[in-house]
Structure 1
């Protein structure tokens, strides 16, 4: 009834490898995905923990019906981390070592853009998430996150600057926010950034991984393990849940997070969603609500890397939010995006998640704030997908740790 994809490779223009997914579909008007009760995840879980509700993990699989293709546009990026679309359809991409580049829609890269503050390149640190001002056409402002060296350690910092008219440098770059306290670690920076509908910024942070900093995810006087909401100048955004409260930072929007590397706003509802890394098992997808506590490290569906339990080994506790969905074993979810285009109708308002350890892009179907289907795209490519975004042309663009830039679009 439905088409079956066959994956193969051809050599494209300029000698680049182009991987294409093709298939036959006798009913071209069909846009609903083929679905099954069998989950895409069949691997052994790390724990025997039970989900809190039906469908919280290992949901049935879906399969895209519409013929689509994916192409490798570039293979020369150096550890790309963040990607966002410019108004003219080109792409702005960060490289961990501190470079910022523009990619044309055919994949051709600019020379590195200069003028950014120095990054602390170590472990998971470097030049991280990127977004542009909602009024970029007029002010050319760019906002990004990076790991910054400080006298007492390092931290996640947020900076902004103006892209010059010749696109060769960032002018008047300034750090507008620092997620303190600093800590001597190379892990769990969070680092995603995006604008909300009011023109303020959501920023994610990690709890820096160490046992001594882990409890700070629950501490409202620390900026670690949080989703923050700040103005373009780095101040607490008005209307935040802890505004005017002496015992909490006013920039905090939600807390109890481990390491949030995915932030996206659902175009159908306007709500914020995030993905965060669990330890061994327990990667999470959460619908973020202002002032809510998402539980880390009190509740988790994961275990320590050593195999030991985390804390009191709780998965449910009153007053702590349950993940909308979790993975065990992990997929290591990094950047995410909702698809709002019309190119592939069955993808409308689906969430796409770049997976590092499981080397695919996860397509998540959400209905009434519940996950109802999961698909794994590009799994045969063997790439650690770091970030994914929707282009102005309705295609998806993704970058991988190995330096590839992918375009995924209707065939």
Structure 2
């Protein structure tokens, strides 16, 4: 049986338990998919299990509780070495939250963001030697001449944790555009110490084709050094017509990036239009198709482009959702404190208002579960902390701890 304990955090940080709730989880698998609504499109998947895979259910007892509900539109979360959480807020703030829900002071010294639309202070990660360097990297929508760009900042968290010292912008995904949507915005440090950053194609029809352009930083996964330079061994390095920072292309609005805990391979989630949300297994130099191929429709209900889902040279998503769940930040579960969660992928769902748990075998999805679907929350990001538990943030300002009893 799942044990769900919700402890609402009052403004004075005194936890207040509510009535336990949650689904019965005695059976491990369902023969039917968790999605029961009809799809928007009548497209057929490229292979069995690419969408609407069978449902699975967690058997091990675990606890989910609200650590605090006093955050202001949190967007990115990462764990500090001492077990606390460093969190970005969309409107431009960064702050630290303890495992007991104590919210620290606003951290000053960050560059200004354009928080209109889907912009703001977005994803973040720590330097691999953070304990020594105290260096933090973050993604934000930066107002510049000609509009806004997805930018990467770097700074040093002060010893008293009140300011970001020597904050500087190390990378900008140009060209700038005056729109306010589809920034992408996730960042991680790969096993070689390079930064991998997701950038959106900025949503509008005029910018959409740049997802396929090798001379544009839009709609890409880029791989750069911690100083912002292209990684020397990137797949298009040395090609005169290609930006050397590009690692993969053909992305729409990629709001999730994660490293597999065993293989260290990169996985990515991105928003589709009307249907066609994707989970991709990212490989160097590959083209993931947007907008040439997609399992989604325009918001009007019309086909996107030629309305095709497969084309030689373009990668298929490992999994897709129709209707959309709006996948955002994600994290693999390392370890076996909840045995059936080992190496599973957990994805925050915005419009779906749940956390999607995906079971992966040989790079194929073999099971899906929806967690915390009764909470009415838009789950924006999720990470695994030092104690092995998952910590998830919602647009509504909550921080959840999800893990073994």
1:135 aligned residue: 129
For each residue in 1:51-92, what CA deviation from the matched residue of structure 2 results, as whole angstroms up to 9, or x when unmatched?
000000000000000001111011110000000001111100
Contact 2:215-2:242 within 8 A present in 1 as well: yes
Residue in 2 that maps onto 1:30 = none
Deviation, 1:267, is 1.1
Q: Secondary structure at the match of 1:379?
A: coil
Q: Deviations 1:297-338 (Å, cap 9, x if unpaired)?
A: 000000000111100000011110000000000000000000
Corresponding position of 2:14: 14
Q: TM-score w.r.t. structure 1 length?
A: 0.95
**Aligned with 2:253 (options 235, 255, 259):** 259
Q: What residue number does 1:94 align with? A: 88
Q: 1:49, 1:398 → 2: CA distance? A: 33
Distance in 1 (CA, whole Å) between partners of 2:144 and 2:212 is 23
Q: Give the aligned partner of residue 406 of structure 1.
A: 400
* 1:343 Cα deviation from its structure 2 partner: 1.8
* 5+ long unaligned stretches in structure 1: 27-32
Q: What's the Cα RMSD here? A: 1.6
Distance 1:47 1:220 in 2: 30
1:338-390 CA distance string (max 9 Å, x none): 00033212100000000000100000000000000000000000100000000
Aligned partners of 1:145 and 1:22: how far apart in 2? 35
Contact 2:7 2:65 in 1 (8 A): no
Q: CA deviation at 1:36?
A: 2.2
Residue in 1 that maps onto 2:76: 82
Q: How does 1:279-294 map to 2 (within 5 A)?
A: 279-294=273-288
For residues 314 and 209 of structure 2, the distance between their equivalents in structure 1, rounded to whole angstroms, comes to 15
In the alignment, is residue 206 of structure 1 matched against residue 200 of structure 2? yes
Between Structure 1 and Structure 2, how many residues are aligned?
402
Shift of residue 24 of structure 1? Answer: 8.8
Structure 1 residues 147-199: Cα deviation after superposition (integer angstroms, max 9, x where no partner): 00011110100010000000000000000000000001010000000000010
The answer (yes or no) to whether the contact 2:8–2:69 under 8 Å persists in 1 is no
* Partner residue, 2:173: 179
Give distance in 2, aligned partners of 1:53 and 1:25: 29
SS of corresponding position for 2:374: helix
Aligned to 2:325: 331
Runs ≥4 residues deviating over 3 A? 5-13, 15-26
Q: How has the CA–CA distance of structure 1 residues 10 and 150 changed in structure 2, closer, same or farther, with 3 Å as cutoff?
A: closer
Which residue pairs with 1:269 in the alignment? 263
Kept after mapping to 2: 8 A contact 1:21/1:68 = no
Contact persistence 1:43–1:329 (CA under 8 A): yes
Q: Is structure 2 residue 185 aligned with structure 1 residue 220?
A: no
